[in-house]
Chain A
Amino acid sequence: MTRLFAATSVLALGIASAAIAADSPSKADVLSTYSNIAEANYDDSLIAAKSLQAAVNALITDPSDATLNAARAAWIAARVPYQQTEVYRFGNAIVDDWEGKVNAWPLDEGLIDYVDSSYSGPTDENEFAALNVIANPSFELSGETIDAAEITPELLGETLHEADGIEANVATGYHAIEFLLWGQDLNGHGTGAGNRPWSDYAQGDACTGGNCDRRAQYLSAATDLLVSDLEWMAAQWAEGGAARVALTADEAAGVSAILTGMGSLSYGETAGERMRLGLMLNDPEEEHSCFADNTHNDHYYNGVGVQNVYLGTYTRIDGTPVDGASLSDLVIASDPSLDAEMKVKLANTMQALGVMKSTAEAGFAYDQMLERGNEGGELLIMGGVNGFIDQTKTIERIVTTLQLDQIDFEGSDSLDNPDAVFQ
């Protein structure tokens, strides 16, 4: 009985596919476009991080309002390509294992530098939440004395980052740099982002906040580390790079990885962890870029990234288009109406995120939207959340339609052990 049904469905599939087969791309071509976009997107992130590095060096050499603002602008620009790469994270173990170095969040910023007296200090969860390495050239960590006389990329990356196994001990990456450029946002749900004075980098008597030399050293080390980390990841996606090779080792698992990245970023990560949670807690610091108040852009460009990999198109930061055979083409070959549904839902999400972004840019910041009882803010954020959740349902339907059975993200079992998936 079962076999008879299976045979019938083979026939049905064969006929259905033959009718519209002409335009169907090969999985290999789809994976190639996906890898090309990753390569260009990480390369753009690297280029933008190098601009940030130049701006940071200018700030350190010649601290002033102008050089601080230029560094902040470079940081905001650097986020545009990077946030689009996040769709590569959950489907590709090599990215997921690495991304904590560059985009870990949320952080207990007292680990890094001085904080306001309202900051809670060491907590049950994290006894190093107020360590302040910039003010302390030597300290105890898990029973060991750490020599931090010189703040180097190695000290940040290998000793301080995730110290004591606590994820909130974020010593490296975009958000550590963000804190060093903006400082804490002490405005609560009110207007304004962090307001660190440029004089926090002034040398000699003009120095504010103490230890300006060490603060500059920290900022420089963290930025250098960001550049070298992005350099490494861009190389993994180049021709022959490890990420590209892993993706294409099993084509069905590779296509599954694309969908896994889209679904996990949309649902569990962005809609859940980053958007809905902050709203439920009404906490002004529970936003992805809480120092710079750039959260609306973080979510918006996550949405763009999901759309990029589905449509197989990406626009580089210099305007160059990258495109090719897409997942969308593959879905069209099986079920054109499902492809149309996916495109509409992606567009709906972008529309909702666009309204949130433009409203934030008009002056209603994300942390103001999070305020208890603020109905307009809740609607703006929930518009994005609902869009992400709704598009995840269609991503699941695509998994079913393409028969990419047993999608598993998280552990990336599908990549580590493809046999376990298709046994």
Chain B
Amino acid sequence: MRTLALALALILPLHAHAQNHGPILTSTVETHVLPGFAVLSQATEALTQAAQTDCSPGSARLQAAYHTAFDSWISVSHLRFGPTEVQDRAFSLAFWPDTKGFTPKALSGLIASEDASVETPAEFAETSVAGRGFFALEQMLFDPKFTDQGAAPYRCALIQAIATDIDNNAHAIDADWAIYAITLTRPGESGPYRSEDEAMQELYRALTTGLEFTGDTRLGRPMGTFDRPRPNRAEARRSDRSLRHVELSLIALRDLAAHLSADYPGIAADLDAAFAKAIASAQSLDDPALAGVATPQGRFRVEALQQSINDIRAIASAELGPTLGINAGFNSLDGD
């Protein structure tokens, strides 16, 4: 038996003894998480005001507010735990990938029946997540299929209802984080995190899952296979935001990685260099909707970007996780 215990001990990562993660937890929450959600709720407030002022899909102010608010969401969209998961808020803000065309189906259904839920935020919040959030708004503003479907006054009310719902969810997340921040930075038996290790595991999982989603889903879905690329599966392609989401998510994840690796300058430098390379690769792509995946040349460049993200993932799982003494655990992308 003693032999087994020794064998177990031998495969412990070098730093697997208890580490003091307190300062990192605090700095990550105070300078990465909380400001991100505060910026989001300010941007969604501007979005709902813009929609109230002018709900026409072509409105420059509305489109600008949509882009700014969507940017702010993408910059925090890797923080999928706690307040974002209450009442399906994150799914309500961004239902994607939409593998079975639920969003157009939900929007057409609302428009065809002139569903009265658009008049009451609480009732609208009960409707399908596919007809709410940034991706529903994108189709209402940028997809010609919806610019003349049904009656104009109803379309206007729907756009305003979506904007208000986005704003309500963003504010609810921001408000809940005030309390949740304490849960995460001062873990204990009664909360969701029993120890600093468990709280760190949540943040580390946000990093690894965020990288996985950007590499495998944001890039992987439109890439499809060499013989069968799927440019129509690119995220938010109707408003030319696909590549932007890759870049914004990498910038946000780079900041998170810097926080998590702060005690280990060597690993921090490795991660930062790998992020710099991936971000530069994204910035040089000049292919906003990732439509280039349909050509061999374009695909080659997107593949290189994806590889650079895989390189970051390798550093995180081989160096950062074991050094911090934590593993990534399970994430929502497990499964098929």
Contacts and interface: CB of A to CB of B under 8 A. Distances in A.
Interface of A: 2, 5-6, 8-10, 13-14, 16-18, 21, 24, 90, 106, 120, 123-125, 164-165, 167-168, 252, 263-269, 272-273, 276, 280-283, 372-373, 392-393, 395-397, 399-400, 402-403, 405-410, 420, 422-423
A420 B321 CA distance: 13
A403 B11 contact: yes
Contact of A17 (B2, B102, B198, B232): B2
Contacts of B11: 252, 403, 405, 422
Given A165-B224, A373-B126, A405-B322, 6 more contacts: A10-B6, A168-B99, A268-B332, A281-B129, A402-B8, A405-B13
19 contacts: A6-B9, A10-B9, A14-B5, A18-B2, A125-B100, A164-B228, A264-B334, A267-B334, A280-B95, A282-B128, A392-B330, A400-B197, A400-B326, A403-B16, A405-B13, A406-B321, A407-B327, A408-B328, A409-B334
B101 interface: yes
A5 B16 CA distance: 9
4 cross-chain pairs, A with B, having the tightest CB-CB distances, nearest first: A269-B335, A21-B1, A268-B335, A268-B334
B335 A6 contact: no
Contacts of A406: 317, 321-322, 327-328
A6 B12 contact: yes
A17 B1 contact: yes
A331 to B, nearest CB: 13
A11 to B, nearest CB: 9
B336 A281 contact: no
Contacts of B5: 10, 13-14, 16-18
B101 A123 contact: yes
Interface in B7-40: 8-9, 11-17
B176 interface: no
Q: Which bucket holds chain B's interface residue count? A: 35 or more
A17 B2 CA distance: 7
Contacts of B129: 280-281
A5 B197 CA distance: 17
B91 interface: yes
Contact of A268 (B126, B232, B333): B333
A266 to B, nearest CB: 8
Contacts of A90: 334-335
Interface of B: 1-2, 4-6, 8-9, 11-17, 88, 91-92, 95, 99-102, 105-106, 126-130, 192, 194, 197-198, 201, 224-225, 228, 232-233, 317-318, 321-322, 326-336
A406 B11 CA distance: 11
Contact of B331 (A2, A252, A268): A268
B1 A280 contact: no
Contacts of A269: 334-336
Contacts of B327: 399-400, 405-407
Contacts of A264: 330, 334-335
Contacts of A399: 327, 329
A403 B8 contact: yes
Contacts of B17: 2, 5-6, 8-9
A157 to B, nearest CB: 19
Contacts of A423: 318
Nearest to B216: A410
B88 A276 contact: yes
B9 A9 contact: yes
B18 to A, nearest CB: 8
Given A165-B225, A372-B127, A403-B11, A267 B322 contact: no
A267 B321 contact: no
A171 B190 CA distance: 49
A268 B209 CA distance: 12
Given A406-B327, A410-B334, A282 B127 contact: yes
B100 A106 contact: yes
Given A282-B127, A373-B126, A396 B329 contact: yes
